[in-house]
Chains A and B, each alone.
Chain A
Amino acid sequence: MTATLTLPERRIGLFLSVLLALMGLFMAAAARHGVMSLHGFMALGLGLGLVFLIGGSLYDPAPPHRRPDRYYDAPTRFGLTLTLVWAIIGMGVGVWVAALLYWPEATPPWPATSFGRLRPVHTTGIIFGFGGNALIATSFHVLQRTSRARLADSISPWVVVLGYNLFCAWAVTGYLMGSTQSKEYAEAEWYADLWLVVIWVTYFTLYLRTLARRNEPHIYVANWYYLAFILVVAMLHIVNNLALPVRLTTAESFPVWSGVQDAMVQWWYGHNAVAFFLTAGFLGMLYYFLPVRSGRPIWSYRLSIVSFWGITFFYIWVGSHHLHYTALPYWAQTLGMTFSVMLLVPSWASAGNAIATLNGAWHKVRDDATLRFMFVAAVFYGLSTFEGSFLAIRPVNSLSHYTDWTVGHVHSGTLGWVAMIIFGAIYTLVPQLGGKRQMASPRAIEWHFWLAVTGTLIYVIAMWNAGITQGLMWRAYDRNGALSYSFVQSVQAMAPYYLLRTIGGALFLTGAVLCAWNCRATLRGAREGAADRPLVPQPAE
């Protein structure tokens, strides 16, 4: 890290690290005990660690001249490492909570290890830790390549990556200690939310400043998607997390929203988190790495731009499909339902565009597991958006809501689409970052691919069965107007599916561990940085 910084940059870094340590000390001292003070100590620890790291190498040799002639890949590399670490944490906890649902007696006797606390560790660790780090790391790469410009400065990418991971670590440790705002996917407490705003604004300005320095007349479509991800997530995050702290020295707070407005704001946030965190950003990833890996231009560039505006416009309306048959007024539910159906068009246009891009490269799909990851991602993107639009139709939702069908839909999107596209991008990017021709073990990629596909199919098919079984059992009445099944019976009926889900998840996790090992083997002893250069024109290959 420090080897890539100049002396003035190291000084700024040192200054910021001292600031972080002081902030942590202040938090710990003001809160005195509880979650907030632990979080203060975490910030203090990170700050001090950085002070030692940067201070210790302050007067080391400066990086070579002509740095602007090279892309800045160190933050990407670091971010990818963290992506894989979070993948293993998030999926490991996922498999563990999946096992607990099958085998609840195995719950250890400590509060911190109860299902209720571990579940948000899974969702936050995997969405924000795994997904978020992957998005940030690849966005730096894609931004620089498609703009043919180095990142606007060398400090802010580190602020973004380190600050973002401090947020994730705060969130996850907070849940373990029982601290939560009780808003799904936005459980972190007020000071963590504020901290994320600072980090996110830094990220956004870094992105814009770098785009402004681009050496290409046009902004490549992937950047539109990444930018929408950054901008809209900022907006959602701020509105949904508006809250008044009980005291400035404790973690607890009251949201400013209440009642059905609170529910609507939460699911406006929740669904657009799906849209702009789990979809838009990853479409950006797809639109860059798929053409790069397949050697084919996007089938219809026009369509990719129109889909972008379609997705951006329609998604904003659909949050209410999470609140069908609730206290939310009927009219809001109808709007959510109809816009969800219209949303299918740009979604399938994107999936179809990605698949059509592979025309002329199908032989590569057959031979190259990395490209196959991306192909499967596009297919699952199509499947899960179709399923989503279907579930958004009110009468369908009356069957699926509260059941494991939702969980099946979630994981067809997240395992089949999000995780697959991340692995495709990682296997494309990591050899390049290490200056290698290919990953250390191509066979491990092949294994990973089949583990991931099998795991996803087992997981998703088990949950479809589970969800539809639950939904039908809950609504069944006998001739005499009495319920045909008790709730306990519907729980007992889940046992085989929960066992299958655990097995599917374990396969998927095994694949991810293989990936982490493979990346480590590829990057070990790698030459510093990728071989390509921004400005210097290179001879045609």
Chain B
Amino acid sequence: MTAPHHREVDPVTGHDTTGHDWNGIRELNTPFPRLVIWALVLAFLYSVIAWVLLPAWPTGRDYTRGLLGLDQRAEAAEGFRALSGRRQDWLSRFGGADFAALTADKALMATAMPAAARLYADNCAACHGTRGQGGPGFPVLSDGTWLWSGDPDEIATTIRHGINADDPDTRYAEMPAFDWIERPDRIALSRFVADLPGGAADFETPAGGLFTENCATCHGDTGAGGLSVGAPSLTDTATLYGQDPETVMETLRHGRAGLMPAWSGRLSGAEINLLALYVTQLGQGSGGRP
């Protein structure tokens, strides 16, 4: 370790050391680099220009407005207007719900369907799947079987008001709990329901009797649904929750009431009609491009 206050010349830089020494670290007497001062001046210049042009310094209750007179709220509104203007050109056509005429207009559909696909992906895919493939509790939209109907008008109603949703005109679809049926009977009934799609279910059995007595009002005499109460067909292979005996036992024990949100507060009428057409086409197997 060198003694304190010993100045020497550093061979690499040619500058001397000031003689300060901290545990062997010396202080090299390099002059302050000019470049840094110029860089600071430049950066400061940039700042001054920005301060002159943009809102910058507070002045008590007000602030300097800047020569450009920019206001971020106005800018945002302006950008929004520009975009939605371009969209309104074609979207406004969907304000009316003459779905047949809309579908017939090929040029309009070519413009609208890609936009509908994004609208669907941003709002609906989280529950119904990116390609409408659904999932347990969330109906498949691409298989052409419907809880309610594949008619675009009906679909628009479902989207607008939801199912079991917080909306005065919502659709109701409640599957009551049948936990009061004795467990052995419930097991037999579950097997019966599980056999319905294969056609192996025999209505002349006690389980078939239970079905006719308790279930047919909503699911139809043969279990084929289609009564517009939201009760699915139990004879087709499409399922909502599952039609294996265990899942049917669950359904019978606790009942079911899936929630489809109402969208009238979040999407415009035109957007809802657009989506209704998109979902219709999904069901016909022609949409579904994510």
Those of A441-483 within 8 Å (CB) of chain B? 477-483
Interface flags, A37-52, vs B, CB<8A=1, else 0: 0000000000000000
The answer on a CB contact under 8 Å between B43 and A341 is yes
Interface flags, B112-146, vs A, CB<8A=1, else 0: 00110111111001000010000000000000000
> Which B residues are in CB contact (< 8 Å) with A218?
20, 22
Verify if A198 is at the interface (C-beta below 8 Å from B): no
Verify if A349 is at the interface (C-beta below 8 Å from B): yes
The answer on a CB contact under 8 Å between A297 and B17 is yes
Verify if A201 is at the interface (C-beta below 8 Å from B): no
Verify if A271 is at the interface (C-beta below 8 Å from B): no
The answer on a CB contact under 8 Å between A288 and B50 is no
Interface flags, B47-78, vs A, CB<8A=1, else 0: 10011001111100001101000111000100
Q: How far is the CA of A434 from the CA of B91 in the complex (A)?
A: 75
> Which B residues are in CB contact (< 8 Å) with A262?
none
Stretch at the interface among A244-252, A324-332, A502-510: A324-332
Given A220-B25, A477-B83, A482-B115, CB of A540 within 8 Å of CB of B1: yes
Interface flags, A411-430, vs B, CB<8A=1, else 0: 00000000000000000000
The answer on a CB contact under 8 Å between A486 and B121 is yes
> Which A residues are in CB contact (< 8 Å) with B17?
297
Verify if B183 is at the interface (C-beta below 8 Å from A): no
Q: How far is the CA of A344 from the CA of B26 in the complex (A)?
A: 27
Verify if A254 is at the interface (C-beta below 8 Å from B): no
Expressed in whole angstroms, the minimum distance between the Cβ of B133 and any Cβ of chain A is: 13
Verify if A216 is at the interface (C-beta below 8 Å from B): yes
Interchain CB contact (< 8 A) of B25 among A217, A288, A488: A288
Q: How far is the CA of A359 from the CA of B58 in the complex (A)?
A: 46
Given A342-B43, A348-B39, A540-B1, CB of A486 within 8 Å of CB of B28: no
Given A330-B70, A480-B115, A482-B118, CB of A306 within 8 Å of CB of B32: yes
Interchain CB contact (< 8 A) of A146 among B3, B22, B121, B122: B22
The answer on a CB contact under 8 Å between B27 and A335 is no
Verify if A360 is at the interface (C-beta below 8 Å from B): yes
Verify if A302 is at the interface (C-beta below 8 Å from B): yes
Residue in chain B with minimal CB distance to A305? B32
Expressed in whole angstroms, the minimum distance between the Cβ of B283 and any Cβ of chain A is: 20
A-B pair count, CB < 8 Å, reads: 160
Residue in chain B with minimal CB distance to A146? B22
The answer on a CB contact under 8 Å between B28 and A335 is no
> Which A residues are in CB contact (< 8 Å) with B86?
477, 479-481
Residue in chain A with minimal CB distance to B70? A330
> Which B residues are in CB contact (< 8 Å) with A292?
23-25
The answer on a CB contact under 8 Å between A148 and B64 is no
Interface flags, A375-412, vs B, CB<8A=1, else 0: 00000000000000000000000000000000000000
Q: How far is the CA of A530 from the CA of B107 in the complex (A)?
A: 82
> Which A residues are in CB contact (< 8 Å) with B28?
297-301
Verify if B214 is at the interface (C-beta below 8 Å from A): no
Q: How far is the CA of A342 from the CA of B114 in the complex (A)?
A: 45
The answer on a CB contact under 8 Å between A303 and B30 is yes
Given A300-B28, A481-B85, CB of A360 within 8 Å of CB of B12: yes
The answer on a CB contact under 8 Å between A359 and B13 is yes
Q: How far is the CA of A541 from the CA of B58 in the complex (A)?
A: 59
Those of A308-352 within 8 Å (CB) of chain B? 310, 325, 329-335, 337-339, 341-342, 344-345, 348-349
Q: How far is the CA of A293 from the CA of B30 in the complex (A)?
A: 20
The answer on a CB contact under 8 Å between A331 and B57 is yes
Among B12, B30, B70, residue most surrounded by chain A Cβ atoms (within 10 Å): B30
> Which A residues are in CB contact (< 8 Å) with B13?
299, 359-360
Interface flags, B67-106, vs A, CB<8A=1, else 0: 0001110001000000111111110000000000000000
Residue in chain A with minimal CB distance to B117? A486
Q: How far is the CA of A296 from the CA of B24 in the complex (A)?
A: 10
Those of A147-205 within 8 Å (CB) of chain B? 148
Residue in chain A with minimal CB distance to B73? A330
Verify if A258 is at the interface (C-beta below 8 Å from B): no
Interface flags, B1-24, vs A, CB<8A=1, else 0: 111100000111100011011111
Verify if A291 is at the interface (C-beta below 8 Å from B): yes
The answer on a CB contact under 8 Å between B26 and A330 is no
Residue in chain A with minimal CB distance to B26? A297
> Which A residues are in CB contact (< 8 Å) with B43?
341-342, 344-345
Verify if B31 is at the interface (C-beta below 8 Å from A): yes
Given A337-B50, A481-B86, A537-B1, CB of A301 within 8 Å of CB of B118: no
The answer on a CB contact under 8 Å between B114 and A478 is yes
The answer on a CB contact under 8 Å between B55 and A331 is yes
The answer on a CB contact under 8 Å between B70 and A487 is no
Verify if A489 is at the interface (C-beta below 8 Å from B): yes
Expressed in whole angstroms, the minimum distance between the Cβ of A437 and any Cβ of chain B is: 17
Q: How far is the CA of A296 from the CA of B10 in the complex (A)?
A: 9
Given A216-B22, A486-B290, A537-B1, CB of A334 within 8 Å of CB of B30: no
The answer on a CB contact under 8 Å between B122 and A334 is no
Among A145, A217, A342, residue most surrounded by chain B Cβ atoms (within 10 Å): A342
The answer on a CB contact under 8 Å between A482 and B114 is yes
Q: How far is the CA of A128 from the CA of B32 in the complex (A)?
A: 35
The answer on a CB contact under 8 Å between B46 and A302 is no
The answer on a CB contact under 8 Å between A480 and B89 is yes
> Which B residues are in CB contact (< 8 Å) with A479?
86
Expressed in whole angstroms, the minimum distance between the Cβ of B101 and any Cβ of chain A is: 20
Interchain CB contact (< 8 A) of B27 among A297, A306, A330, A481: A297
The answer on a CB contact under 8 Å between B2 and A329 is no
Given A359-B13, A480-B86, CB of A489 within 8 Å of CB of B25: no
Q: How far is the CA of A148 from the CA of B25 in the complex (A)?
A: 12
Expressed in whole angstroms, the minimum distance between the Cβ of A56 and any Cβ of chain B is: 36
The answer on a CB contact under 8 Å between B39 and A345 is yes
Expressed in whole angstroms, the minimum distance between the Cβ of A318 and any Cβ of chain B is: 12
The answer on a CB contact under 8 Å between A541 and B71 is no
Verify if A103 is at the interface (C-beta below 8 Å from B): no
The answer on a CB contact under 8 Å between B50 and A334 is yes
The answer on a CB contact under 8 Å between B55 and A330 is yes
5 A-B contacts (beta carbon < 8 Å): A303-B36, A331-B58, A332-B58, A477-B83, A532-B23
Question: Residues on A close to B: CB < 8 A?
Answer: 145-146, 148, 216-218, 220, 288, 291-292, 296-303, 306, 310, 325, 329-335, 337-339, 341-342, 344-345, 348-349, 359-360, 477-489, 532, 537-538, 540-541
Extra contacts, 19 of them, besides A342-B44, A360-B12 (Cβ < 8 A), are A145-B23, A146-B23, A298-B28, A301-B30, A303-B30, A303-B33, A329-B55, A330-B54, A338-B46, A345-B36, A345-B43, A349-B33, A479-B86, A481-B86, A482-B118, A482-B119, A484-B118, A488-B125, A489-B121
